[in-house]
């Protein structure tokens, strides 16, 4: 069981206790109890608490892992796996709520537990704790309300915040001025008993209210998020713009904060996350120091976890060479992909339409994206209109002449052929611009119909950053936009693709799968190198000892 000094040293690495001195950390450590799982004699030895029971404590994982599950329609759904340094059960400290999930601990897990009464005593002795815990509670509440379908398996949101309320006040200045002006117009209408001025005042007040509502919604659409895998900036301008910028923890170089005078007074500022490809700037963030501490903590944990896995691989390679069974690695391999569903019979017409007009086609592990169909309509609407008009004119001419006119038909067929060729050119121009994802590469192909082809490719494991944007009213209504990919010194733009969040998700999944495969290959190569070295060492030692016999 860890003693108070070990607990204090452990807490010092956590963002929840950032800013506390050694004495304050010791006070907090003394208020915590330790519990090792499984608990001997308990009815359910691995159960920490069950969903729906009264929450009365806060738990920190000192070592080991826990699994978080929830009952949904009589089914048990796994929400997350938490490891050393993670925490849960915060509802029992500051709010009188029941647990909203079930927690079970793996064998050997050690938890640090702080009950509500102990927390009140610690808070009285260390008042600097309160802002850190308030930030944490606000983040957990917001993460529980908002649902993001792009989160990966076992990806947990640890920090989420919107822009500071002062930015909302700044944005509401113009709507307030418009409403004040409408008040002046109403006052003039009252003095002059003028229906015209009254109508004008009503119109201006509606504009002011609409602008104010729009500014409020726009202010509430931007989020800064930190998960156990990445740092994310979500930005959305209603009806106009939608983007997500992110940086994996493994690409971070440094984390800095900037705060001006008013930022120090009202506790907001800018967090600057420097990565290999540039900066992720989180502006007007509430509690920037706490957020920066959280990013720093999980960045450090990523580096430590990587070193631990490497060390375990080396140890196992030596154990196998010595004829001993390998030890389990602390970071388990990813779950195998589910078996492919049996192929279904597809209508040939439907298959032809999908292959020729589909915006996302997956075949043989290669995903191909075409531009959105609205781009195709933009490119072929003129020739389509001409084609239809020529047919209508031919039919109308034949009806008017009341006989079959060979010259009219020939001239019409000539126009139809020209319009058809033009239409086909526009279709081919749309179809020839394609973007592909393979297991190893990201590919951008631009080809002019009957002309030059420009094909660019880059390794998918070289991706350093991704971002997508939906711009304009049409982009928001029809869900298309551009996905930007930074690969080393090159930039790939998947322009006007349908459902850019889904394309972005495909890229991230392929990148992570490639990274796992690359890591596995490097691990196997390192293992083989160690084995070869041990074999040569044993042979050399045998050769040295042989003359002595």
Per-residue pLDDT at 450 exceeds 90: no
- In 3D, which of 415, 413, 409 has the Cα closest to residue 385? 415
Task: Indicate if 348-508 has the same CATH topology as 1-145.
Answer: no
In the 8-state DSSP scheme, what is residue 546?
G
Question: For position 92, what pLDDT does the model report?
Answer: 66
- Residue 418 makes CB contacts below 8 A (sequence gap 6+) with none
CA triplet 118, 123, 129: central angle to 5 degrees?
Answer: 120
Long-range CB contacts (within 8 A, 24+) of 93-99? 93/57, 93/58, 93/119, 93/133, 94/133, 94/134, 94/137, 95/55, 95/137, 96/55, 97/55, 98/51, 98/52, 98/53, 98/54, 98/55, 99/49, 99/50, 99/51, 99/52, 99/53, 99/54, 99/55
User: How high does pLDDT run on average in the chain?
Assistant: 82
Give the range among 101-105, 230-234, 306-310, 497-501 with minimum mean pLDDT.
306-310
- Confidence check: pLDDT of 202 > 70: yes
- Six-digit token string for 18: 């950032």
> Using CA atoms, how far apart are residues 516 and 485, in angstroms rounded to an integer?
20
State pLDDT tens for residues 86-98.
Answer: 888 877 666 777 8
Neighbours of 278 (CB within 10 A): 13
Whether 253 has a pLDDT exceeding 90, the answer reads: no
Q: Please report which confidence band the pLDDT of residue 341 belongs to, taking 50, 70 and 90 as the band edges.
A: very low
* Measured distance CA(143)–CA(156) in Å, rounded: 9
Distance between CA atoms of 322 and 371, rounded to whole angstroms?
57
**Using an 8 Å Cβ cutoff, are 189 and 197 in contact?**
yes
Measured CA to CA, the distance from residue 67 to residue 479 in angstroms comes to 36
pLDDT at residue 338 in the model:
38
Identify the band that residue 346 occupies on the pLDDT scale cut at 50, 70 and 90.
low
Looking at the predicted structure, is the pLDDT value of residue 424 above 90?
Answer: no
Looking at 249-253, 311-315, 355-359, 505-509, which range is the least confident one?
A: 311-315
Most confident of 342-346, 391-395, 527-531: 391-395
Each residue of 474-508: pLDDT tens digit?
887 788 889 998 887 778 899 999 888 888 878 87
Res 135: pLDDT: 79
Query: Higher model confidence: residue 231 or residue 67?
Result: 67
pLDDT in tens, 148-201: 877 877 787 878 888 888 889 988 999 999 999 999 999 999 898 888 889 999
**Cβ proximity of 258 and 292 under 8 Å:** no
Q: How confident is the model at residue 342 (pLDDT cuts 50, 70, 90)?
A: very low
Is residue 232 a contact partner of residue 246, using CB atoms and an 8 Å limit?
yes
* Preceding omega of 38 cis (within 30 degrees of 0): yes
Q: Among candidates 283, 131, 301, which has minimal Cα distance to 219? A: 283
Q: Which residue has the higher pLDDT, 303 or 268?
A: 268
How would you write 23-52 as a 3-class SS string?
Answer: HHHHHHHHCCEEEECCCCCCCCCCEEECCC
* Sequence-separated (6 or more) residues with CB below 8 Å from residue 462: 487, 488
Provide the residue ranges of all domains of the chain, joining segments of one domain with +: 1-145, 166-219, 348-508
Show the CA angle centred on residue 417, arms to residues 412 and 421, nearest 5°.
150
What whole-number percentage of the chain has pLDDT above 90? 15
Question: Which pLDDT does position 334 carry in this prediction?
Answer: 39
pLDDT at 37: 92
Average pLDDT over residues 369-386: 88
| Interatomic CA distance for residues 88 and 48, integer angstroms | 11
Residue-level pLDDT at 104: 93
SS (H, E, C) 297-325: HHHHHHHHHHHHHHHHHHHHHHHHHCCCC
CA angle, 425 then 429 then 435, to 5° = 160
- Percent of the chain that is helix, strand, coil (3-state, to 5): 50, 25, 25
Quote the CA–CA distance of 469 and 150 in Å, as a whole number.
Answer: 15
State the pLDDT at residue 337: 37
362 compared with 548, residue with greater pLDDT: 362
Kindly indicate the confidence band of residue 229, based on its pLDDT and cuts at 50, 70 and 90.
Answer: confident
**Residue 333 clears pLDDT 70, i.e. is over it:** no
pLDDT in tens, 50-74: 988 888 888 999 999 999 999 888 8
Tokens of 366: 């290669």
Quote the strand ranges of 402-462, DSSP E. Answer: 434-437, 441-447, 453-459
Measured in Å, how far apart are the chain's first and last C-alpha atoms? Answer: 52
* pLDDT of 332 strictly over 60: no
**Predicted confidence (pLDDT) at residue 109 exceeds the cutoff of 90:** yes
Domain at 348-508: CATH code: 2.30.29.30
Q: Which helix (H) or strand (E) holds 105?
A: strand 102-105
For the segment 203-215, the average pLDDT, to the nearest whole number, is 92
Q: Does domain 1-145 have CATH number 2.60.120.10?
A: yes
* Mean of pLDDT values over 213-220: 88
pLDDT of residue 515 exceeding 90, the answer is no
d(CA 239, CA 360): 24
Determine the pLDDT at residue 112. Answer: 94
Percentage of residues in the chain having pLDDT higher than 70: 92
pLDDT at 466 over 50: yes
Give yes or no for a contact between 239 and 254, defined as CB atoms under 8 angstroms apart: no
pLDDT digits (tens, 9 = 90+) for 294-307: 888 888 887 777 77
- The residue count of the chain comes to 549
Angstrom distance (rounded) from CA 78 to CA 102? 10
């Amino acid at each position: 069981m860890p003693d108070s000094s070990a607990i204090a040293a452990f807490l010092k690495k956590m963002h929840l206790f950032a800013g506390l001195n050694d004495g304050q950390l010791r006070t907090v450590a003394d208020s915590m109890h330790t519990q090792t799982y499984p608990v001997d004699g308990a009815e359910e030895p691995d159960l920490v608490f069950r969903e729906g029971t009264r929450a009365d404590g806060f738990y920190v994982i000192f070592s080991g892992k826990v699994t978080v599950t929830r009952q949904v329609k009589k089914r048990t759904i796994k929400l997350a796996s938490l490891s050393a340094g993670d925490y849960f059960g915060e509802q029992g400290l500051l709010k009188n709520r029941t647990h909203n999930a079930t927690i079970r601990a793996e064998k050997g897990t050690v938890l640090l537990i702080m009950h509500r009464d102990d927390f009140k005593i610690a808070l009285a002795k260390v008042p600097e704790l309160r802002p850190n815990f308030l930030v944490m509670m606000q983040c957990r509440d917001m993460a529980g309300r908002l649902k993001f379908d792009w989160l990966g398996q076992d990806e947990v949101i640890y920090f989420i915040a919107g822009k500071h309320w002062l930015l909302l006040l700044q944005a509401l200045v113009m709507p307030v001025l418009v409403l004040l002006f409408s008040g002046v117009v109403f006052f003039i209408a009252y003095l002059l008993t003028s229906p015209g001025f009254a109508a004008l005042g009503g119109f201006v007040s509606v504009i002011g209210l609409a602008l104010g509502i729009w500014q409020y919604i726009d202010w509430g659409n931007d989020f800064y998020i930190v998960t156990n895998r990445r740092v994310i900036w979500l930005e959305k301008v209603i009806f106009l713009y939608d983007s997500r910028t992110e940086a994996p923890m493994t690409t971070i170089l440094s984390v800095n904060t900037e705060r001006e005078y008013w930022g120090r007074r009202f506790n907001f500022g800018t967090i600057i996350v420097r990565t290999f490809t540039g900066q992720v700037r989180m502006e007007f963030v509430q509690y920037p120091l706490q957020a920066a501490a959280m990013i720093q903590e999980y960045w450090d944990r990523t580096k430590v976890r990587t070193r631990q896995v490497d060390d375990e691989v080396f140890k196992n390679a030596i154990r196998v060479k010595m004829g001993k069974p390998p030890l389990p690695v602390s970071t388990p391999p990813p779950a195998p992909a589910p078996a492919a569903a049996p192929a279904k019979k597809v209508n040939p017409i439907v298959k032809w339409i999908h292959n020729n007009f589909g915006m996302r086609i997956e075949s043989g592990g290669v995903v191909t994206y075409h531009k959105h169909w609205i781009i195709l309509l933009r490119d072929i609407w003129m020739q389509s209109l001409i084609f239809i008009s020529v047919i209508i004119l031919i039919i109308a001419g034949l009806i008017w002449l009341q006989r079959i006119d060979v010259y009219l038909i020939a001239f019409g067929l000539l126009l139809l052929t020209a319009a058809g060729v033009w239409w086909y050119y526009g279709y081919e121009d749309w179809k020839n611009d394609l973007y592909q994802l393979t297991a190893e590469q990201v590919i951008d192909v631009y080809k002019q119909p009957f002309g030059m082809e420009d094909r660019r490719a880059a390794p998918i494991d070289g991706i350093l950053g991704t971002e997508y944007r939906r711009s304009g009213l049409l982009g928001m209504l029809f869900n298309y936009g551009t996905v930007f990919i930074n690969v080393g010194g090159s930039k790939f733009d998947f322009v006007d693709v349908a459902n850019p969040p889904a394309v972005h998700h495909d890229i991230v999944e392929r990148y992570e799968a490639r990274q796992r495969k690359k890591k596995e290959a490097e691990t196997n190569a390192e293992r083989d190198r160690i084995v070869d070295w041990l074999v040569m060492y044993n042979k050399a030692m045998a050769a040295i000892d042989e003359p002595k016999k």
